Amino acid sequence: MSATETLKQRREAAVAKGVSTRGIYAVRAENAELWDADGKRYIDFAAGIAVNNTGHRHPKVMQAVAEQSLAFTHTCFHVAPYEGYLSLAERLNAATPGDFAKKTMLVTTGAEAVENAVKMARAFTGRSGVIAFTGAFHGRTLMGMALCGKVNPYKKAFGAMPPEVVHVPFPNTFHGVTVQDSLNVLENMLRSSIDPERVAAMIIEPVQGEGGFNIAPPEFLQALRDICDTHGIILIADEVQAGIARTGKMYAMDHAGVAADLVTMAKGLAGGFPLSAVTGRAEVVDAAPVGGIGGTYAGNPLAVAAAHAVLDVIEEEGLCERATMIGDTIKARLNDMASRQGMEAIGDVRGVGAMVAFELVTDRETNAPDTALTQAIVAEAEARGLIILPCGTRANVVRILPPLTVPADHLAEAVDILEASIEAAIGNAKAA
């Protein structure tokens, strides 16, 4: 029995079934490469789900963490605060969109950031309602899953959700939902279903993650900003997956020139160490009572040190520009494939920067989802040594999230594997 098979058996016996896993058991990783328990090499184009934007074990990140570990690893910021937290807050205040006074709180996970952003909005407005969007993913905590716009698996079997959370269709041209369609539903909802004077916040991913890498058009984000301003609603940008240089800009909202009142971020922020943040208008962040936000591990010193190094690397290595180059390379190959005869299963290619996806359909007339082909492509790529991930509300989208530090030869190798995997999976499906 292989080492991987042994680990799979141990996982089945010891780990909760509800924690989904792939069959790759990592033992070592470096930049865009990962090796499993049997010594098989992979090119990792999942990057820990957009966490390792600076690659696995970037030397500057590892050095920063090592140096911090020699000083202290944990004090709890509430008990004995430290300068690293303060200076990281200052950097995030300066980096997020918006020319206004800002403040930051650090926590540990994306879901925590979202929960605290909602708490801040409610405290500031004195209201309780929240508007989210179909296809959204905002975490697996109680409020997080209520905000999610996908039932299975995030809401299934977990009972009643928190009240006063409503969902508006996310614009999706590929599926015939225009910006105006979405705005019409939103305006009607504010007239008929939920009083805007009871809405504390509106939360949106400028590029949806789990929902299928759907991109919010700039004019839609600008319209939401206007609606929020009209009704005194706090606009929250969930940049947990799209932020930290992933889309070719530091934050995806930068593409639209729109400043949210609050920004949530995590994943790529600390190069593989658990850290998240809420950054936004000082008066909104400060609305929570003293002691009402925070956490024991919030802003862990090791993760904070890693985040400082990540921000340095993004600037020094031009990772925003690299994200654009990487994404253009991948999309060019995918679009070329989609244009060929016999590749009609590739219904749509989309993405911003190095946040790229393609949607699989049974035919381009109906755009009906081909979930089986999606899974087959992911499996074929894994067998050939490339890690990619499925997503989408219909489970028919393949997402590609390479490290922004991926070497040129590994990028070229990965794109070749991706093309071969798509051709093989489509060929197998036709032969079946």
Task: Read off the pLDDT of residues 229-266 as tens digits, 9 standing for 90 and up.
Answer: 999 999 999 999 999 999 999 999 999 999 999 999 99
pLDDT for 398-429, tens place per residue?
A: 999 999 999 999 999 999 999 999 999 999 99
Q: Of 195, 58, 207, 226, which Cα lies nearest the Cα of 125?
A: 195
pTM metric for this prediction: 0.97
Residue 115 confidence class, pLDDT cut points 50, 70, 90: very high
Q: Which two tokens stand for residue 83?
A: 């300068």
Q: Which two tokens stand for residue 227?
A: 């609606």
Mean pLDDT of 109-124: 98
- The pLDDT score that the predictor gives to residue 150 is 86
- The pLDDT score that the predictor gives to residue 432 is 80
- The pLDDT score that the predictor gives to residue 156 is 87
pLDDT for 145-161, tens place per residue?
A: 999 998 888 988 988 88
pLDDT for 361-396, tens place per residue?
A: 999 999 999 999 999 999 999 999 999 999 999 999
**8 Å CB contact between 225 and 242:** no
- The pLDDT score that the predictor gives to residue 90 is 98
Domains and CATH numbers, the chain: 3-57+318-431 (3.90.1150.10), 72-316 (3.40.640.10)
pLDDT for 281-308, tens place per residue?
A: 999 999 999 999 999 999 999 999 999 9
Mean pLDDT of 181-210: 96
- The pLDDT score that the predictor gives to residue 160 is 85
**Is the Cα dihedral 28, 29, 35, 41 positive or negative?**
negative
- The pLDDT score that the predictor gives to residue 152 is 86
Q: Of 225, 249, 247, which Cα lies nearest the Cα of 237?
A: 225
- The pLDDT score that the predictor gives to residue 117 is 98
Q: For the stretch 27-46, what's the b/e string if a residue is b when 16 or more beta carbons lie within 10 angstroms of its beta carbon?
A: eebebbbbebbeeeebbbbb
- The pLDDT score that the predictor gives to residue 251 is 98
Q: Which two tokens stand for residue 235?
A: 């606009």
Mean pLDDT of 176-202: 96
Cα separation, 250 vs 247, whole angstroms: 7
- The pLDDT score that the predictor gives to residue 357 is 98
- The pLDDT score that the predictor gives to residue 194 is 93
Phi, psi of 248 (to 5 degrees): 95, -5
- The pLDDT score that the predictor gives to residue 402 is 98
Q: For the stretch 169-194, what's the b/e string if a residue is b when 16 or more beta carbons lie within 10 angstroms of its beta carbon?
A: bbbbeebebebeebbebbeebbeeeb
- The pLDDT score that the predictor gives to residue 151 is 87
Q: Which two tokens stand for residue 24?
A: 């790759």
CB within 8 Å of 194: residues ≥ 6 apart: 129, 131, 164, 166
CB within 8 Å of 203: residues ≥ 6 apart: 114, 117, 118, 130, 131, 132, 136, 138, 147, 236, 237, 238
**8 Å CB contact between 228 and 202:** yes
Mean pLDDT of 69-73: 98
Q: Of 304, 285, 258, 297, which Cα lies nearest the Cα of 117?
A: 285
pLDDT at 130 over 90: yes
Mean pLDDT of 106-126: 98
- The pLDDT score that the predictor gives to residue 335 is 98
pLDDT at 208 over 90: yes
Q: Of 50, 47, 52, which Cα lies nearest the Cα of 62?
A: 52
Element (DSSP H or E) covering residue 176:
none
Q: Of 54, 119, 35, 5, which Cα lies nearest the Cα of 270?
A: 54
**Is the Cα dihedral 346, 347, 352, 357 positive or negative?**
negative
Q: List, in sequence order, every residue forming a beta bridge with 359; answer none if it has no partner.
A: 348, 397
Q: What is the mean pLDDT of the chain?
A: 97
The one-letter code for the residue type at 151 is V
pLDDT for 315-325, tens place per residue?
A: 999 999 999 99
